[in-house]
Structure 1
Amino acid sequence: MEVVIAPPAELARLAADVVERLLAARPDAVLGLATGSSPLAVYDELARRHAERRVSFARARAFLLDEYVGLPADHPQRYRNVIDAELVSRVDLAPVAVHGPDGLAVDLPAACAAYEAAIARAGGVDLQLLGIGTDGHVAFNEPGSSLGSRTRVKTLALQTRQDNARFFDGDVDAVPTHCLTQGLATITEARHLVLLATGTSKARAVQQLVEGPVSARWPATVLQLHPHVTVLVDDDAAGLLELADHYREAYAAKPEWQHL
């Protein structure tokens, strides 16, 4: 696991560099896209680079991490609509090449199984962008989630619904109770995981992610078992890391030829 501590704008540039480098080498790469506030600056940076003709998504495919259950198809906070607004509509990524779990399916378990199969048929995810919740969840894998879990229906924790109420005009009751989410085993099958976190509210979760024991209590800690994880955090999110100075020194000494 590589930990990079830098200002938020630099974190966005570094994450965009990873995407740009991947698509230059493999134009048909499979991207894993996250929603929430953490990746927004990355999407802004990628849209800017696309406008400058530095990066093309024309042959890429993408899979979303999760989706609310029961939100109408035209609801602005349905994650498929969020990713369309924040990234797809701003670059040349074909809408038909973007896939998400079907939160409106009549048979939700069958929809989850179909989503797992679709990821497998695509050859798996090359690069997965991630955020982390204040309780340590990744995607919607709340505390207590099996480290071997697959795409499934989950009940959202009250803390997560309270955190996400800002996207629903502050009304926690408007945040759905259930979701479909890729499981932790699904996520960790991606070949490169890039997690972004900023702000003091994420500091405890980041400390557990990087330096805590692997445990379902903090689901993101499963990332410690992955061979290629990049954790991009600002000073506030890194505030509780005991080895913060070491991470800074290691990144400063990184060979120029060795990318994230």
Structure 2
Amino acid sequence: MSVASVGVGVPRLRLPRSMGNFLLVVPAVTFLVLFMVAPLVSFLVRSLTGVDGEFTWQYYVEIFTTANYRAALINSLWLAIASTVVTIAVTFPAALHLARLEGRRAIAYDAILTFPLSLPGLVIGFFVIVLFGRAGLAQSASVALTGQQSLVLAYSMPGLLFAYLYFQLPRTLGILRGSASALDPDLEDVARTLGASPARITATVVLPAMWPAILSAAGIAIASSLGAYGTVAALSEGFRVLPLEIAEQGTVLQNTALAGAMAVVLAAVSVVFTVLNNLGERMIGRSEVRA
């Protein structure tokens, strides 16, 4: 007679729910520890260790007192913030329009506007060179139309701003479009009925409602831009940002202690703007709960 025939079941091993939930996150946590936490700790230890193994702040002081390194940090911040401001100015009205679209047109716009996410930074840099380089399309068009050469923008700050717009646009647009889709159209209708102009409606109704999304989009755009390397490597001619300095110190000059200090500083600055992104997401969550 079998066990099943007498109705006696084989006992099953059941893990507590908390243990089961923990096991679900183990792969992700393991990955982050191995490929993010461990390298950062290693960088931190090296950056605080002197030549003779003693504790030192020397490398951090060097970043802020050496003109080239300080300029690279300021350039990184300025470029990330400036490109983010331009990106949000461009994507804000686009998000309001796309939020009202449905069907095939919405799918087509999504495919076009998210395409840059699939491109590496180096390729985006070469796109800018093709457009605004010394032998680029803009240069050829200027010579054909006016007989004179135009300004070469690819290797200057404007060229870098164009390149950063490529990969910032889809990141910010997705966040802003989601917020725009959640706007209550009745609020705009009421304001319009009361005689408010489109500009006033945007300033008094739309902007306050989308402010958390703008904050979140700005935080993630700046944080992702601070670490951009391939784009700047393709376009930089004398214009230095901190990722380039880290690569040079760590691979070319083999000064891993200084490279580690720069990496820690860059990570700390990125965390600040990541917190800004999280703050915006929490504000969005609270507004959705109230709604």
Whichever structure has more strand as a proportion of its residues is 1
Instruction: Give me the TM-score of the superposition, normalised by structure 2.
Output: 0.21
More helix by share: 2
Structure 1 or 2, whichever has the larger Rg, is 2
TM-score by length of 1: 0.23
